[in-house]
Chain A
Amino acid sequence: MRDSVTSRTLVAVLAWTIALVMFFPIAWTILTSLKSEGSAIESHHLLHFRPTVENYVEVFIGAGYLGFAVNSLLISIGATLFVIALGVPCAYSMAFHPTPHTRRLLLWMLSTKMLPPVGVLMPVYILFRAMGLLDSRSGLILMDTLMNLPLAAWMLFTFFKEIPKDILEAARMDGARWFEEIRHLLLPIALPGIASTSLLSLILCWNEAFWSLTLTASNAAPLSAFIASFSSPEGLFFAKLSAASTLAFAPVLAMGWIGQRRLVRGLTFGAVK
């Protein structure tokens, strides 16, 4: 690649422009959340306003943010634990004991992600109702686990594929049984991969809105349902909606920021070597 100053500057300007354009909605939301409800609707000045935290107080205390946040946390962590617990053995067997059908199995798993969720809304709803899982955290944990398992198994599979087979064979010669292989070698060596898979799963569960909105009402509603509740019946409350949104995406933004190196490595694993 040419490395002249001009081209580097151009690339930098382009990158910053794209980044700022993409960041704009987030910035708008954060700024709006600091406005009073009136100036949020009337004022068209993005930066010129008197900042207030009244929306946060209202959202936090009045609307019961914490309850929803706890739901989000429990559902995300619960689903992620299941995803990893099921995904690791699944990826292990596909990576180290492949059969002639492994490749097709992988493709089939990915194909389930191509199905629009709304397409199975009715059967899922009826099943959930029959099993008494509507508006329950365990129901949503089940749903999120099923949604994210294919992707996680794929990611873990690519991570495990990178581990030389020799190492596991050496362990087998050393007397390790399969669960000792997983415990003493696979898990510690693939820890970065497992961490980024977990992080992605957490983020996806946290952000999941479709099933949260359709399968929960009040008891198990997570933050995505909380945000939605600000938009419909009571009319549009831009400032409060923004405050709720900010509170909802703040943890995941922080998590992504802290784990960005790991996440990028995880998502591009195998592609860049």
Chain B
Amino acid sequence: MATVQLKNVCKRFGTAEIIRNLSLDLADKEFVVFVGPSGCGKTTLLRMIAGLEEIDAGALFIDGVRMNETGPADRGLAMVFQSYALYPHMTVRQNMTFSLRLARVPQEERDRKIAAAARILHLEEYLDHKPGQLSGGQRQRVAIGRAIVRNPKVFLLDEPLSNLDAALRGQMRGELGRLHQDLAATMIYVTHDQVEAMTMADRIVVLRAGRVEQVGTPQEIYRRPANTFVAGFIGTPPMNMLPARIITRESAGVRLALPGQSTVSLPLASNASNIGDAVTLGVRPEGLKPQSTGVLSGTTHLVERLGAITLIHVDLDSGGRAIAQVGANEEVRTRERISLAIDADHCNLFDHDGNALP
């Protein structure tokens, strides 16, 4: 069991408020990803949980026990740093057993733990190497191994893949997922990369300027973003945002006026809005399809063929741009007239403050 609870925690550096009255409940064995743009406070939050930053106000509970005053080593956590933070003068074996040595764990048990960790991480051959002799991916694994041998209740990972190249990153994403399954531990993972967040998380916590913008499963966050910030931050390419106005309320939704005289009916926000309200219509790129009768018209200015999919960047006649995601075989060229239909399944509606309408 390892639950993590944050209750109204705050953190300031000088006059800058980094974490603002933030509360969060993380379940046992959950893989939670903190995601947000740089400077949103996600790393600070992780360091507060780790005990490397003091909590100015509020409380942190691990397994229901208040931890504010407990030192980093006694919270039952292990952390993997962005820079790996390996001890450069020690071998892989010494790096991984340092915590056990400090805790006076008997040699036999140390050997057993390190053998197990090395096997899981494929590090058997490198136990007597120094970190300087290892590749980036191997160093990364040593850093994870150092965390594993401590048998922590909660793993804290601070952008652990950001120093790896793209191919290795993809591979390590898979390995971390497998590790989470094998170890059955609670993991908190910080990243600014929404692909990592989407692929690995049980739940995603989207942060901005020290506040939680939304907590949910990757699907919830993708399908029902709480506001325009989350909608724009999660998903590549980002959600298309179109200014619109509600013209009628229908039994199963609303009718919207889009820029350039066109209108569209959507099964959304039938009760939460008033006629005449200015809203933002968010459409995922896969919700825009080329169709001769489509409600949006414009000129293609870039066609990106990514293999399995093709992205069409369109300059809309009404001003602004939109990106449509279509199949690989779609016949489109740049500087061509195009009409796009909107698929209501991939739409979200936001009020003029940017908050989602139900």
Contacts and interface: CB of A to CB of B under 8 A. Distances in A.
Given A174-B146, A175-B103, A184 B98 contact: yes
A189 B131 CA distance: 13
Nearest to B75: A173
B102 A175 contact: yes
Contacts of A169: 52, 72, 79, 81, 85
A172 B344 CA distance: 52
Interface centre among A164, A174, A184, A185 (most CB of B within 10 A): A174
Given A169-B52, A172-B72, A173-B50, A164 B85 contact: yes
Contacts of A189: 87-89
Contacts of A184: 87, 98
Nearest to A168: B85
Contacts of A164: 83, 85
Nearest to B83: A166
B86 to A, nearest CB: 8
Contacts of B103: 175
A185 B72 CA distance: 18
A166 B99 contact: no
B89 A188 contact: yes
Kindly name the residue among A169, A173, A184 whose own CB sees the greatest number of chain B CB atoms within 10 A: A173
Interface in A160-184: 164, 166-167, 169-176, 180, 184
Nearest to B77: A173
A176 B102 contact: yes
A181 to B, nearest CB: 10
A171 B85 CA distance: 9
A170 to B, nearest CB: 4
B141 to A, nearest CB: 15
B216 to A, nearest CB: 29
Contacts of A170: 79, 81, 85-87, 146
B99 A174 contact: yes
Contacts of A172: 52, 71-73
A185 B102 CA distance: 13
Interface in A41-97: none
Nearest to A100: B14
Interface residues of A, number: 16
Contact of A166 (B72, B85, B98): B85
A131 B79 CA distance: 54
A99 to B, nearest CB: 13
A173 B73 contact: yes
Judged by DSSP, the binding face of A is: helix
A173 B72 contact: yes
A174 B77 CA distance: 9
Interface string B61-85: 0000000000111100111011101
Contacts of B146: 170, 174
Interface residues of B, number: 24
B143 to A, nearest CB: 8
A10 to B, nearest CB: 39
A184 B102 CA distance: 10
Given A180-B102, A184-B98, A173 B87 contact: no
Nearest to B89: A188
A142 to B, nearest CB: 34
A171 B98 CA distance: 8
Nearest to A184: B98
B81 A171 contact: no
Given A169-B52, A180-B102, A184-B98, A174 B73 contact: yes
Contacts of B72: 169, 172-173
B346 interface: no
B9 to A, nearest CB: 19
A167 B85 contact: yes
Nearest to B81: A166
Interface string B95-131: 0001100110000000000000000000000000000
Interface string B299-341: 0000000000000000000000000000000000000000000
B150 interface: yes
B102 A174 contact: yes
B43 to A, nearest CB: 12
A173 B83 contact: no
Contacts of A166: 81-83, 85
A44 B40 CA distance: 78
Nearest to A172: B72
A176 B146 CA distance: 14
Q: 8 smallest A-B Cβ distances: which pairs?
A: A175-B73, A166-B85, A174-B99, A170-B85, A175-B102, A188-B89, A166-B81, A166-B83
Interface of B: 50-52, 71-74, 77-79, 81-83, 85-89, 98-99, 102-103, 146, 150
23 contacts: A166-B85, A167-B86, A169-B81, A170-B81, A171-B87, A172-B52, A172-B71, A172-B72, A173-B50, A173-B51, A173-B72, A173-B73, A173-B77, A173-B78, A174-B73, A174-B98, A174-B146, A174-B150, A175-B99, A175-B102, A184-B98, A188-B89, A189-B89
Given A169-B72, A170-B85, A173-B77, 15 more contacts: A166-B83, A167-B88, A169-B52, A169-B85, A170-B79, A170-B87, A172-B52, A172-B73, A173-B78, A174-B99, A175-B73, A184-B98, A188-B89, A189-B87, A189-B88
